[in-house]
Amino acid sequence: MPTLSEIKKSFLVSLWFMFLTFPIMVIRVNTTEKLVLWRWENMLYIGIGSFLLSFVWRYLLWRKETGKKDTESGGTEAPPFFQRILSDRRYAIPAFVVGIVFVVIFPFVMNTYQTNIMITALMYVVLGLGLNIVVGLAGLLDLGYVAFYAVGAYTYGLLNHHFGLGFWIVLPMGAFMGAFFGLLLGFPVLRLRGDYLAIVTLGFGEIIRLILENWNEFSFGPSGIAQISRPSLFGIQLSLSNSIVYLYFVMIGMVLFTIFVVNRLQNSRIGRAWIALREDEVACQAMGIDKTRTKLTAFALGATWAGMVGVIFAAKTTFINPASFTFLESAMILAIVVLGGMGSIVGVAIAAMILILLPEYLRAFSEFRMLIFGAIMVLMMVFRPQGIVANVRRSYKFQPDKHP
């Protein structure tokens, strides 16, 4: 692979980079002392750096290409790392136990700040799994997912403010409201797909936010709703730190519940219909699947989770205003789904953890956060477009002779 032509290519790349960065990296004009500083050593660094980078880059691409050829020419694809781990009992059981112990003792060992971050991350796991139904399984690009999150949060905020309803009563109502708004969005966009769908859903997200921002009588406008009550444990109000621990366990339960339901949905008749819809809409309909119904269930069931997490969000922060529900949130959740791997539950959970926890722990590098974020995204698109954990189709067990 490291032939002369490759070296030549990298050399040309580094020359080009040196030329491009010449004005900013080499020349420095000091206007107060009327001096021009020529920093030639910077050019050298750029040259060497870009030479090496381009070399490594093309080496990785080459490896990816040859790897693909190997699997195509008969070699069976090794099962993904996580499945290998999980399928082996020797590793699975200890890993499972360690996981449970970690999850249980986490809020007691870590301080409230850490627990709070973890709650946020878990919330995004559920949001990611919810959006995964719409985007990953049914293939409907939804850029306004945060709207349902807002609907859930405001459901709790308003009902708590006006009627003093508690968390546990509103949680199912939030789910219901999410589903209802999912249908509300679903109906007008039934005929759209691809880019057009993305634009309309984006608009929908903005509409909800703008309504919340401007309809002062209803939603208290930008000043938001404050002093929303935290969840109570069988009617007992908890202290601040206890209630955070409590919320943490509520969230853990929520994540497990979501994984359970989404997994079952995915492997059902309805899940298959969603995937078929994603793969080919015309064929899907010609095979007898009701497109309208399938799309609407996807929108409604996806939005349900956002509605529930919205309620939890309102209970966690005790204050909500429209600024929490901007397009950036939608983009973040979408990034989680895409980075994790469309349709893959484990992948989405991991991606949510990475994308939410990493920025928190990298506060020291907060100036470079977006840079790192962008770089990771670009690298993922090039080297693992299928996401962290590619969704593997399951194989079924059949007994063809049993049903004559």
3 state SS of 166: coil
Q: Is 285 in the site for other proteins (CB under 8 A)?
A: yes
Burial (CB count within 10 angstroms: exposed 0-12, middle 13-18, buried 19+), residue 84: exposed
Please report whether residue 399 would count as binding other proteins according to CB under 8 A. yes
How far apart (Å, rounded) are the C-alpha atoms in residues 361 and 103? 19
Complex with other proteins: residue 40 or 396, whichever CB lies closer: 396
Residue pair 306/152 in contact (Cβ under 8 Å)? The answer is yes
**Using rule CB under 8 A, residue 104 touches other proteins:** no
Contact letters for other proteins, residues 299-318 (x by CB under 8 A): --x-----------------
By CB under 8 A, name the one of 29, 35, 36, 282 that touches other proteins.
282
Contact 59, 1 (CB under 8 A): yes
Nearest to residue 154, comparing CAs of 225, 227, 231, 250? Answer: 225
Out of 119, 138, 146, 284, name the contact with other proteins by CB under 8 A: 284
Q: Is 398 in the site for other proteins (CB under 8 A)?
A: yes
Give yes or no for a contact between 224 and 317, defined as CB atoms under 8 angstroms apart: no
Q: Quick check: 78 binds other proteins (CB under 8 A)? A: no
The conformational region for residue 343 under phi > 0 = left, psi -120 to 50 = alpha, else beta, is left
Binding of other proteins by 88 (CB under 8 A): no
| Contact between 142 and 131 (Cβ < 8 Å) | yes
Residue 196's identity, in one-letter code, is Y
DSSP lists the bridge partners of residue 233 as 236
- Closest approach, Cβ 303 to other proteins, in A, equals 14
Question: x/- string (CB under 8 A) for other proteins, residues 234-273?
Answer: ---------------------------x--xx--xxxxxx
DSSP state of 2: -
What the block records as the tokens of 62 is 């080459």
Q: How far is the CB of 164 from other proteins (least distance, A)?
A: 32
Choice from 56, 283, 362, 370 touching other proteins (CB under 8 A): 283
Least separation in angstroms between CB 171 and other proteins: 17
Query: Which region among 101-109, 142-150, 228-236, 283-291 touches other proteins (by CB under 8 A)?
Result: 283-291
Query: Of 35-43, 82-90, 362-370, 393-401, which segment contacts other proteins by CB under 8 A?
Result: 393-401
Of 28-57, which residues contact other proteins (CB under 8 A)?
none
Q: Are 153 and 209 in contact (CB under 8 A)?
A: no
Helices (H), 267-290: 269-279, 281-286
Site for other proteins, rule CB under 8 A: 261, 264-265, 268-273, 275-276, 279-280, 282-291, 297, 301, 393, 395-400, 402-403
